[in-house]
C-alpha cells in the first residue's frame, strides 16, 4: 500500500487546540478513554468469535500498558478486533464518528460496548504532541494488511502500511513536554487504579518478580504479569453466588486502608425501567462525623466515571460506601446532565427505597442485632428522616429511641412506656432527654428518682432531630433534662411545702442577685425536697435549642451573646436556710458565690478567672 496523506475531516477548522484545552476538565482522563477503547476492541472480538464471524481460538486477550522513558512514549496495546485501512480512515479520520455505536446497532442483542472510539481517542492529544496507531485487523487471514497511522496534533495525518504482525491495536503517545508526569510508573499506576481497576478485561502493567531459594541454595526467579485490575468484581455477580466473606473481602479491596468491617450491605440489581447494579455498604460512623462525598464510586459498564455522586445518591446516603454501575450514565457525565436526566432521578429514588427496605427487614428479622448496631445505624436513619420525606415515612417503623439505661424502644413502644408518669396537664407526653449523660448526670439522677425515663440524644444530629420529633409525633413535647425542674414537670407531682415565708424568699432572691454578674439571669426560689440540689441552673428550652442549632450550622452569631439561664434556689435545702441566717455579710456573700459557681460548674459553664477563684475559695473553705 502506498503512503496516503490527508486532512482529518471535522466541522471545526482547527479542533486540536480545543481538544487539548477543553475536551475534559482533567487531562488524566485520556488513559481511561484509551484503555476503555482497548476493552471495547477486545469485547468486540469475543462477540464476533461467539457469533462465528471471527474464526479460530482468539487466545490471550490481555491489554498491556507500557512506558518507554527514553523514547518519551506511553503505549496502550490490545489484542482485540483491530482495524483495516478503510476502518482507520472511517473511524479515526472522522472525529466523533463512533464505531462503538455502529457496532452496537449491528450486535445490540449480543454485546455490551463501553464507549465511543471518536472523541475518546482524540483525548490522547491533551497530553501528546504526536500519536501513532499500529493496527492489524482480525481479518488478516483474509489478506487484511497492517496499518500505521500518525498525527502530530495538527489536522494533518499520515496513513501507510504498517509492520504489526499480531492482531490488535497499539496506540503510542509521544508525551508532550508539559505532560512528562505520564511517563512516571507511579503516576500511571495511580490512574489505572483510579479509572481501570474493575474493567472487564485483564490489564497488564509491568511484571512481578518472585525469588525463591531452594534447600540446596539454588535461587529461582518466577516472572509473572502484573495484572492491575479485577475483571469480575462482586457487584456483577449474583447475590446467591456470594458469601458474607466475599462481600467483606470486596469492601477491603475497595478500601484497603479501612480496618473496620462494614455493618451490612445492600446488593442492587435492577433491569427495569433502568439498569443499575452495585453494592452499598453501611460503614461504622464516628459520632462527630464529617460527610465524605467520595466513598461511592460511579461506574458505567465497569468503567469509573466519578466519585461525586451527589446528584444520584440522596445526601444522607452519601455516608455509605461502595459502588454503583449503570450503563445508562455516559462516560462524559456532567452535573447538568445528571440534574436533568430522568433515569438519574429514578435511580436516586430506587436507592432510597432499597435502603429503607433493608433497614426494615433487619429490624424485623433480627432486632437484637439491629439494636446492637443502632449507634452506627442511627446516623443514617436520623439524617435520612431529617432530609428525605419518603425515607422518613418508612423510617418511623424502625426508628429507635435509646434511654440512658441502654434500652431501645420504637416511637409507639416509648409512648406506651412513659404515658403513666410523663403526661403533663395539657395531656401531652413529655419526653425528657440528655445531650451529655456524664455532664448532666445530676439532672438525670433527679429525674430517675421521680421514676421518669430519660432519652440519650448526644449526637450532633440530635440538635435538629429533637425538633423533628416534636413536629412529627403527635401530642408530645421534648425537654432536655436540665431545662426545667423535674419536680414540676407533670401535674401528678405532689406539691412540696415551703419552709420559707414569702418575705424570706424575696430577701433570698435579692441577696443572690447582687452576686450574679449577668443581668440576663433570672433568680427564683422553689420548694423542693430537702435532699434535692440547693442551686440548679435551668436553661430555657427554646433559647438553648437555638444556640445548639446555631453552633451545629456554623452560625456563630449567638455565640457572642450572654447565655441566658434561670438560677433556681431550693428553699428547703439546709445550705440555703443557713445563708439567710448568716449574720456575717462576707461569709454570706462567699456562700452564695460558692453555690452559684457549683451550679455553673455542673453545667460546664464555669471557666477562666471565675473557675480559678472558685478553686481557691474551695481550698480556703476546706
Question: Which one of 488, 522, 553 terminates a domain?
Answer: 488
**Integer-rounded Cα radius of gyration of the chain:** 36
Q: What is the CATH classification number for the domain harbouring 80? A: 3.30.565.10
441, 528: one domain: no
Please report whether residue 414 resides in a domain.
yes
555-614 residue pLDDT tens: 554 445 556 778 888 888 888 888 888 888 888 888 888 888 887 887 777 788 878 887
> Using the 8-state DSSP alphabet, how is residue 406 labeled?
S
Burial class of residue 5, CB neighbours in 10 A (0-12, 13-18, 19+): exposed
The mean-pLDDT minimum among 410-419, 426-435, 448-457, 601-610 falls in 601-610
- Stretch 214-237: mean pLDDT, rounded? 88
d(CA 137, CA 343) in angstroms, rounded, equals: 37
Q: Residue 481 in contact with residue 536, Cβ under 8 Å?
A: no
The count of structural domains within the chain is: 4
Q: In sequence order, what DSSP letters do the residues of 104-168 get, joined into one string? A: HHHHTTT----S-TTHHHHGGGGTEEEEEEEEE-GGGGGT---EEEEE-SSSEEEEEE----SSE
366, 426: one domain: no
Question: Which one of 188, 206, 224 terminates a domain?
Answer: 206
Residue (of 121, 113, 166) closest to 144 by Cα position: 166
Residue 132 pairs in a beta bridge with: 150, 172
* 138 pLDDT more than 50: yes
Torsion of CA 28, 10, 116, 154, to 10 degrees: -30
Residue (of 555, 550, 534, 547) closest to 602 by Cα position: 534
Dig out the grid coordinates for 329 from the structure.
450514565
239, 102: one domain: no
202, 283: one domain: no
Determine how many CB atoms are found less than 10 A away from the CB of residue 371: 16
CA distances from 97 to 87, 276, 300, 549 (A): 11, 28, 21, 55
Residues constituting the chain = 622
Q: Which run of H or of E encompasses 282?
A: strand 276-282
Residue 510 pairs in a beta bridge with: none
Q: Strand pairing of 321-325 and 276-282?
A: antiparallel
Residue 321 pairs in a beta bridge with: 281
Could you give the maximum distance between any two Cα atoms of the chain, in Å?
119
Dig out the grid coordinates for 261 from the structure.
468491617
Averaging pLDDT over each range in 70-74, 156-160, 349-353, which range is the top one?
A: 70-74
Supply the pLDDT for residue 538: 75
Please report whether residue 216 resides in a domain.
no
pTM across the whole model: 0.76
258, 335: one domain: yes
Looking up cell 414540676 gives 488
463, 324: one domain: no
473, 513: one domain: no
Beta strands in 49-146 (DSSP E): 63-68, 73-78, 128-136
14, 124: one domain: yes
d(CA 116, CA 96) in angstroms, rounded, equals: 8
484-530 residue pLDDT tens: 655 555 544 455 677 888 888 888 888 888 777 666 678 888 877 78
- Give the up-direction half-sphere exposure of residue 71: CA atoms within 13 A in the CB hemisphere: 10
* Better pLDDT: 579 or 178: 178
Please report whether residue 217 resides in a domain.
no
443, 309: one domain: no
Helix residue ranges, H only, 147-298: 185-195, 244-254
d(CA 373, CA 149) in angstroms, rounded, equals: 60
49, 128: one domain: yes
Please report whether residue 599 resides in a domain.
yes
76, 190: one domain: yes
Q: Which structural domain range is residue 143 located in? A: 4-206
Please report whether residue 175 resides in a domain.
yes
* 98 pLDDT more than 50: no
Supply the pLDDT for residue 36: 92
Q: Residue 32 in contact with residue 121, Cβ under 8 Å?
A: no
Q: What is the CATH classification number for the domain harbouring 521? A: 1.20.120.790
Q: What is the CATH classification number for the domain harbouring 437? A: 3.40.50.11260
d(CA 612, CA 358) in angstroms, rounded, equals: 54
Please report whether residue 34 resides in a domain.
yes
Residue 246 pairs in a beta bridge with: none
* Better pLDDT: 314 or 251: 251
362-379 residue pLDDT tens: 999 999 999 999 988 898
364, 461: one domain: no
Determine how many CB atoms are found less than 10 A away from the CB of residue 123: 22
Please report whether residue 496 resides in a domain.
no
Dig out the grid coordinates for 425 from the structure.
396537664
- Stretch 159-177: mean pLDDT, rounded? 94
Torsion of CA 477, 482, 488, 490, to 10 degrees: 30
Question: Which one of 331, 354, 371 terminates a domain?
Answer: 371
Please report whether residue 214 resides in a domain.
no
Q: What is the CATH classification number for the domain harbouring 340? A: 3.30.230.80
Amino acid at each position: 500500500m502506498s503512503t496516503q496523506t490527508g486532512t482529518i475531516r471535522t466541522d471545526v477548522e482547527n479542533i486540536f487546540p480545543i481538544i487539548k484545552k477543553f475536551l475534559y476538565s482533567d487531562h488524566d482522563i485520556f488513559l481511561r478513554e484509551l484503555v476503555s477503547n482497548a476493552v471495547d476492541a477486545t469485547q468486540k472480538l469475543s462477540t464476533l468469535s461467539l457469533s462465528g464471524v471471527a474464526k479460530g481460538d482468539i487466545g490471550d486477550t490481555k491489554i498491556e500498558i507500557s512506558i518507554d522513558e527514553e523514547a518519551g512514549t506511553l503505549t496502550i496495546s490490545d489484542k482485540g478486533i483491530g482495524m483495516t485501512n478503510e476502518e482507520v480512515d472511517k473511524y479515526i479520520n472522522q472525529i466523533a464518528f463512533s464505531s462503538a455505536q455502529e457496532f452496537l446497532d449491528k450486535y445490540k442483542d449480543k454485546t455490551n460496548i463501553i464507549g465511543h472510539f471518536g472523541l475518546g481517542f482524540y483525548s490522547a492529544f491533551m497530553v501528546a504532541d504526536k500519536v501513532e496507531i499500529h493496527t492489524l485487523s482480525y481479518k488478516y487471514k483474509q489478506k487484511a494488511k497492517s496499518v500505521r497511522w500518525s498525527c502530530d496534533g495538527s489536522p494533518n495525518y499520515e496513513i501507510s502500511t504498517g509492520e504489526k504482525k499480531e492482531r490488535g491495536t497499539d496506540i503510542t503517545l509521544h508525551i508532550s513536554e508539559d505532560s512528562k508526569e505520564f511517563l512516571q510508573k507511579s503516576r500511571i499506576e495511580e490512574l489505572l487504579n483510579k479509572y481501570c481497576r474493575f474493567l472487564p478485561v485483564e490489564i497488564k502493567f509491568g511484571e512481578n518478580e518472585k525469588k525463591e531459594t531452594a534447600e540446596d541454595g539454588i535461587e529461582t526467579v518466577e516472572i509473572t504479569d502484573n495484572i492491575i485490575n479485577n475483571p469480575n468484581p462482586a457487584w456483577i455477580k449474583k447475590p446467591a453466588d456470594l458469601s458474607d466473606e466475599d462481600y467483606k473481602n470486596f469492601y477491603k479491596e475497595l478500601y484497603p486502608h479501612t480496618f473496620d468491617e462494614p455493618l451490612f450491605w445492600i446488593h442492587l440489581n435492577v433491569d427495569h425501567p433502568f439498569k443499575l447494579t452495585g453494592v452499598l455498604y453501611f460503614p461504622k460512623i464516628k459520632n462527630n462525623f464529617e460527610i465524605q462525598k467520595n466513598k461511592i464510586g460511579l461506574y458505567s459498564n465497569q468503567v469509573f466515571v466519578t466519585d461525586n455522586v451527589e446528584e444520584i445518591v440522596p445526601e444522607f446516603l452519601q455516608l455509605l460506601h461502595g459502588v454503583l454501575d449503570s450503563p445508562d450514565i455516559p462516560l462524559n457525565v456532567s452535573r447538568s446532565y445528571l440534574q436533568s436526566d430522568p433515569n438519574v432521578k429514578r435511580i436516586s429514588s430506587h436507592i432510597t427505597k432499597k435502603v429503607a427496605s433493608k433497614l426494615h427487614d433487619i429490624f424485623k428479622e433480627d432486632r437484637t442485632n439491629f439494636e446492637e448496631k443502632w449507634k452506627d445505624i442511627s446516623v443514617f436513619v436520623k439524617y435520612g428522616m431529617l432530609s428525605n420525606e419518603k425515607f422518613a415515612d418508612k423510617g418511623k417503623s424502625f426508628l429507635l429511641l435509646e434511654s440512658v439505661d441502654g434500652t431501645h424502644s420504637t416511637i409507639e413502644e416509648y409512648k406506651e412506656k412513659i404515658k403513666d408518669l410523663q403526661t403533663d396537664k395539657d395531656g401531652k407526653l413529655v419526653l425528657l432527654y440528655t445531650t451529655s449523660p456524664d455532664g448532666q448526670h445530676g439532672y438525670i439522677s433527679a429525674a430517675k428518682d421521680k421514676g421518669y425515663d430519660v432519652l440519650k440524644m448526644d449526637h450532633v444530629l440530635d440538635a435538629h432531630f429533637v425538633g423533628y420529633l416534636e413536629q412529627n409525633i403527635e401530642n408530645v413535647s421534648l425537654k432536655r433534662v436540665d431545662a426545667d425542674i423535674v419536680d414540676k414537670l407533670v401535674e401528678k407531682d405532689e406539691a412540696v411545702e415551703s419552709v420559707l415565708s414569702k418575705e424570706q424568699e424575696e430577701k433570698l432572691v435579692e441577696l443572690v442577685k447582687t452576686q450574679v454578674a449577668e443581668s440576663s439571669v433570672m433568680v427564683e426560689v422553689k420548694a423542693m425536697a430537702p435532699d434535692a440540689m440547693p442551686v440548679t441552673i435551668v436553661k430555657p428550652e427554646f433559647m438553648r435549642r437555638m444556640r445548639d442549632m446555631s453552633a451545629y450550622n456554623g452560625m456563630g452569631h449567638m455565640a457572642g451573646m450572654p447565655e441566658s439561664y434561670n438560677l433556681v434556689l431550693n428553699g428547703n435545702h439546709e445550705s440555703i436556710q443557713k445563708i439567710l441566717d448568716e449574720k456575717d455579710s462576707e461569709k454570706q456573700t462567699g456562700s452564695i458565690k460558692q453555690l452559684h459557681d457549683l451550679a455553673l460548674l455542673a453545667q460546664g459553664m464555669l471557666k477562666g478567672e471565675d473557675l480559678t477563684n472558685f478553686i481557691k475559695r474551695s481550698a480556703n473553705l476546706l
